[in-house]
Structures are given as structure tokens and as C-alpha cells.
Structure 1
Amino acid sequence: MLEIKKYGAIDIGSNAIRLLVSNIIVSEGKEPQFKKSALVRVPIRLGADAFVSGIISEQNTIRMIDAMEAFKLLMKVHNVERYKACATSAMREAKNGAEIAEKIFKETGVQIDIIGGKEEAAIISSTDLNQLIEGNNSYLYVDVGGGSTEFTIFSEGKILISKSFKMGTVRLLSNKKTVNKEIFSNVEKWIKKNTLGLKNLSLIGSGGNINKLFKMSGRLEGKPISFIYLNAQYQFLKQMSYQDRISELSLNPDRADVIVPATKIYISAMKWSGATKIYVPKIGLSDGIIKSLYYNKL
């Protein structure tokens, strides 16, 4: 007997807001399969508000309301039976974040859960990483967002430790260089301390920027990117102007600036952990929300 369920996940990040619709295929005697059906991304950069002025602007509040209305209609067309909306660092740091969430609920009926860094890391870690983390190897899972980066260390198939740092791409663009230097220093200490003694360590990267870098590399799915390639790509991107990244590399305007600090985070994490390669399984918070919903963890 085969049953197909449709679930939705709304990820309200600091650089963009996403709607993921997934088919969950349930067969008797088999593990459920999670298949992406549709993904919609809208470039509402809440972090540019939250990390600079400390509040979500009226303009972006209106755009968020419009986005939630549009997402509701899309989920209706897809026959989505259950969904969850989660907001991360920009909404949780904005002084009016809770107030905006309440306003959105009143106007659209979409309830937004503003989640903490640890909860965000836990949801992301619940994604289907089994194919990668099996065996005796060790992995540093790095999810780079607009406002924060979540780090999780796996060894022999188990989670050893997880931590969220205020080291996001939009935040790095907004901060002063001295602040960013201090953040990188803190993360370096944490990674070096917690990966010490772990052999055959590789990175697992998630987030829109590493997905784009993987696509640009032309690698086959499942194959890793080397540190040498990623570092060369970082130097190449850094030397290009914002306009050239859009015109010559066909990057979206809201991707063309954040891809540089994102690449720096990934290569720094590889350097500090001693990893020589990074796997990109194309999973993130929205995938974790779907899975957590299905297993009634949310």
C-alpha cells in the first residue's frame, strides 16, 4: 500500500524567505521517502534591517505579509495538508520581531515560530544525513545563513556537539571589520578545540551559497569539492566587482554580495578543522522542518 502526503515548510531567514513543498512517500515496511516537489525563494533581506537598525522595517513587514499570502495560495494549489513556518536570527534579534509575527498571524493566519540558534541547529541536524555520516569518519556540518552559522560535529554516526554563532553573511556585510575579526577568532577556537584528534574529517555544507558554488563547480552530485578549488574560487569571486558577479556569472543580485563572506566561512572552517573536502547534499532548515513535522517533533 502506497500513501503520498504533502507537507510545507516556510524558512524565514536573514537573506531570503523560502517555501518548500515536499512529497512524503510512505510504503508499507519501508522508510518514508522525502521528495522535493516545489521550492520558492523571495529575496526579502530582513537581516539588513535587524542587524543595522535593530527593527524590521514597515516596508519589509508589508513584503512579508504579501509573501505569506502568496505561500498560502501556493500550498493550497499543491494540496499541502500540514506546514510550519520558522524564523531565525533576523526575526529573533529584531526588537519588533514578535510584534511582526503577531501582525502576520492576524492578517494571514500564518503562525511564525521564532526559533533559537540551538533549536535551529537541531532541526537542521535532523535532516537525512545518514548516507554521509555512516562509518568511522568524522564530519563538521556547516550551515551558513544570513544571520548565523550552525556548526555540528559528527563522529562514528553520532552528534558530538553543536553550536550556533552570530556569523551570518548579511551580518558580516553589515558589521565593522573589527567585530568580524573577533567573531572569526571565536569560531576558530571552537572548531580547533572540538575537532582536535578527529581523523578523516570532512565538511558537510548547507545553505544557498554552497549550493550555488557546487553548481558552479560542475561536480557530479555526491562528489565533494576540494579545499584547493574552493579557495581558488574565493580569490576569484573576491577580485570581481558586485556588478561583474551579476553580469558575468549570472548571480542573482541578492546572491552576488553574500556569496563572498559565505565562501570565506566555509574555507575557514575547512582550514581550522583540517578538512580537505566538503560535501554538499543540498539540505537545510526547510528540509529539517518537513522531517520534524512528519515525525511530530515540531
Structure 2
Amino acid sequence: MLTIKKYAAIDIGSNAVRLLISNIIEQKGKPVQFKKNSLVRVPIRLGTDVFLRDKISKENTQRILDTMLAFRLLMKSHKVVKYKACATSAMRESVNGQQVADLVKAQSGISIDIIGGEEEAAIIAATDLHTYIDNSKTYLYVDVGGGSTEFTVIHQGTSVTSKSFKIGTVRLLNDIVKKEAWQELEQWIHTNAELYDKIEVIGSGGNINKIFKISGKALGKPLTYFYLTSYYHILQSYSYEERITELDLNQDRADVIIPAMRIYLSAMKWSGAKNIYVPKIGLADGIIKSVYFNTVSSNTQ
């Protein structure tokens, strides 16, 4: 017997807000399947508000409210039965983050959990990584966001250690990442990478997904450090406007893609990795899995 239910994940990040709706396919005697049904992304750059002025502006508070009301209707139309909404770096650092979350709850009925960096890393680690990795290898999983980047060392299929760093694309774009933060990250990667003979990098986030798509590589095939470095230099040779008009990047991608590549390239350089794998998974996927397996609280639609 086959049953199909729909679950949803809302990821309120520093650069964008996303709604992922997935089909949960259950069949007797077979492993459960998670199939992406719909993904909606709204580029509300909360990080620019929070990292520069410590609070979410009135304009972006209204945009969040409008977006959550729209997401509520979309979930209703899709007949979503369970959902979870998580807010990360920008909202947790904002002085009015909880106030905005309360307003969203009152006006849309959507409950937002403001999660910490370590919890974010744990939810991301709940994704179906085992379908993408070789259990005989060691990986450094790098999830780049607008406000922070989560790093996880995976050895023989098991997460060994995780850490969140306040180094993100929106912070870098606004030149508010301190030199000490980079030094701490470099030391952390060196300390963990030297425990293993060889390490590969797994990258997640909208920017590396876009770069992978542009590369034309088949899913499962890695991008090399040489390719990433070359493309990084190409992007730098174009102006912001040219990245939009000539490289066909969205306006909210055309600026953050360069600092994102700087993070991935740094992780590869400091870990000694020659390749980066891009499985196209992230926080929203982890939320869906975590809700299904009841490792986090959830809400019914």
C-alpha cells in the first residue's frame, strides 16, 4: 500500500526566506522517500538590517509578514499536513527578532523557532547525506548562509564534530567579518583536517548550487579547486551590473556569490581538499527529515 503526505519547511535566513514542500512517500516494506514538490524563495535580506543596525526594519518586518501569509496559503493549497519554520543567524541576533516572530504568529498563525548555530548544523546533518557520500572517505561539510557558515566533519558516514562561525555572505558583503573570525575558522579546519589522511569538501547553499548548475557537471560529480578558483576570478572581473546582464545572475545572487566562493575556497585550501561535491541539500531538507523522524517539534497545518 502506498501513502503520500506533504510536509513543509520554512527557512528564514539572512539572505532569503524559503518554503520547501516535499512529498513523503511511504510504501510497505520499502524505505520512505522524500521528493521535493515545490520550492519558493523570497530575497528578503534580513542580514543587512541586523548586522548593520541590530534590528529588523519596519519595511522588512512587513515583508516577512506578507511572505508568511503567502506561505500559509500555499501550504493550505498543497494540503500540507505538517510543517516547521526555523529562523537562523539574522533573526537570532536581532534585538526585535522574537517580537517579529510573535507578530508573525499572531497574524499568520505560523510559529517560528529561532534556532542556534549548533542546532542549525545538527538539522542540516539530518539530511540524506549518506546517499551522496562514500562511507570510506572523510568530508568537511560546509553550509554557507548569509549570516553564518556551519561546518561538520563526517568520517566513515558519521558526523564527528560541528561548529558554526559568524562568517556569512551578507556579513562579508558589508565588511563586518573580523580578521579574528577567519583566523579561528582556519585553525579549526587545520586542527580537524590533520586528523585524516585525505579530506573532501561537500558544499551546500544557494550560491554553490548555482555555480554547480553553471558548470554543467552531472549530479554526483565534483567541482575541482582549480575550476572554482578560475570561476571566482571570472566573477571578480565583472561588475555587479555585468553579472546580472551578461552572466544572467539574479540581482540578489550577483553580489553574494563572490563572498560565498571565498568561504568555499578557504575551506578547501585549509583542509587540503582538491574537490567539492554539491548534493543540493540544505537546512530546509534537514527540517523535512527532522520533522518526519520526530527529532524536532513540528506544527500541523
- Normalising by structure 2, report the TM-score: 0.97
Displacement, 1:97?
A: 0.3
Match of 1:172?
172
Q: What is the distance in 2 between the residues matched to 1:232 and 1:185?
A: 24
Displacement, 1:180?
A: 3.7
Q: What is the distance in 1 between the residues matched to 2:242 and 2:28?
A: 52
- For residues 81-160 of structure 1, what are the structure 2 equivalents within 5 Å? 81-160=81-160
Letter paired with 1:140: L
Match of 2:204 among 203, 206, 218: 206
Q: What is the distance in 2 between the residues matched to 1:135 and 1:38?
A: 30
The answer to whether the 8 Å contact 2:84/2:291 transfers is yes
Match of 2:235 among 215, 234, 237: 237
Displacement, 1:110?
A: 0.6
Match of 1:192?
190
Question: What residue ranges of structure 1 are gaps of 5+ in the alignment?
Answer: none
Displacement, 1:172?
A: 1.0
CA distance 1:77–1:208, change in 2 (3 Å)? same
User: Percent identical across equivalent pairs?
Assistant: 60
- Runs of 4+ in structure 1 displaced over 3 angstroms? none
1:251 corresponds to 2:249? yes
Deviations 1:48-106 (A, max 9, x none): 00100000000000000000000011111111111110000000000000011001111
Deviations 1:20-49 (A, max 9, x none): 000011111111110000000001000000
- Normalising by structure 1, report the TM-score: 0.98
The answer to whether the 8 Å contact 2:132/2:220 transfers is no
Displacement, 1:201?
A: 1.1
Deviations 1:197-242 (A, max 9, x none): 3123111000000000000111011110000000111111112110
- For residues 29-108 of structure 1, what are the structure 2 equivalents within 5 Å? 29-108=29-108
Q: What is the distance in 2 between the residues matched to 1:13 and 1:100?
A: 14
Q: What is the distance in 1 between the residues matched to 2:160 and 2:193?
A: 10
Give RMSD over aligned pairs. 0.9
Question: What residue ranges of structure 2 are gaps of 5+ in the alignment?
Answer: 297-301
Match of 2:299?
none
Match of 1:19?
19
The answer to whether the 8 Å contact 1:137/1:199 transfers is no
Match of 1:6?
6
Deviations 1:236-289 (A, max 9, x none): 111211000000111111100000000010011000000000000000000000
Letter paired with 2:229: N
User: How many residues are paired up?
Assistant: 296
The answer to whether the 8 Å contact 2:139/2:155 transfers is yes
Q: What is the distance in 2 between the residues matched to 1:31 and 1:57?
A: 45
Letter paired with 1:138: T
Q: What is the distance in 1 between the residues matched to 2:234 and 2:181?
A: 24
Match of 1:218 among 211, 216, 219: 216
